[in-house]
Amino acid sequence: MADETPIVTPATPAQPQKPPAKPAADRLVMITGATAGIGRAAAEQLARTGCSVIVVARDPRRGAQTVEAIRNASGNDNVELIVADLSLMQDVRRVSGEFAKSGRKLDTLVNNAGVKLAHRTVTAEGFETTLAVNHLAPYLLSRLFKTNLAGDGGGRIVNVNSFMHRYGSVDLDDLQRANGYSELNVYSSSKLLSLLATYALARKWKPESVFVNAYNPGFVRTNMSGGGIVGVGSRIFAKSPLSAGQGLAYVATSPQVEGSAGGYFQSTGRTKPSSRKSYKEALQTRVVQATKSLLADV
């Protein structure tokens, strides 16, 4: 039996009019986690279409190499770097602060950075690292850029998710996983938390012309595939990062996606339902409240 219908709905008279699509050459896109895999492929595709691209990367050397490689491959010099460790919320805030100084309007924020860790680690700010990178950082970055994105015709936020969210769980009393850690469960749960928050923000921000969607790249050959059976399977059956990255670039900028919110997009550019639990509005609200509480002191 199919999952529940997603919250994507046709525009109604009460909703803002669908904004006209911007030409690619006029678009400014920020993408996190763009030094490898899906993010790297998406950033290059965006640059090839003429977008100005801001790469957010943790490692200065790899970030600079990525920017240079994208410029060379695309023939587009409008590619730049912001260095930030997105496991640290103070760095997330610094990304917003650095961008604000430029006085520019951002058209699309792509929250792509993610981790899957075999063992529990805690950041300098006291957050479990998978939770910090996969959920807290994209949520906070989205909130920090919301006002900027809402101006001058609106903007988009694309949160890269995973089909693995279906296997996640929400324990609002132990979001930090202090009472038991399993790599796959913690990763899956972080993606479920992110998806629940994505849908909550999509519903809340659409009237302000900030259009929030999730993107599921599917089973992709990336550094997070790991070893063992999963790693072997990814090498045989998984799609390439190039294919997944092109799908991500499509959701980030395509005129066909203009005005859509709350979609669970696939690499084909079409939407499919996510898990039933991800559409529970009461749970979405509680996750957002718990997330705000965690971030209150950083």
Phi (first) and psi of residue 146, to 5 degrees: -60, -45
- Among candidate residues 139, 167, 181, 187, the one labeled active-site is 187
120 neighbors 181 (Cβ within 8 angstroms): yes
Instruction: Please indicate whether residue 279 is annotated as part of the active site.
Output: no
Long-range contacts of 219-227 (CB under 8 A, 24+ apart): 219/163, 220/37, 220/38, 220/244, 222/36, 222/37, 222/38, 223/36, 223/37, 224/37, 224/114, 224/115, 224/116, 226/116
Quick one: tokens of 261?
């919110």
Q: What is the DSSP letter of 258?
A: T
Interatomic CA distance for residues 10 and 28, integer angstroms = 26
Give me the active site residues, please. Answer: 187
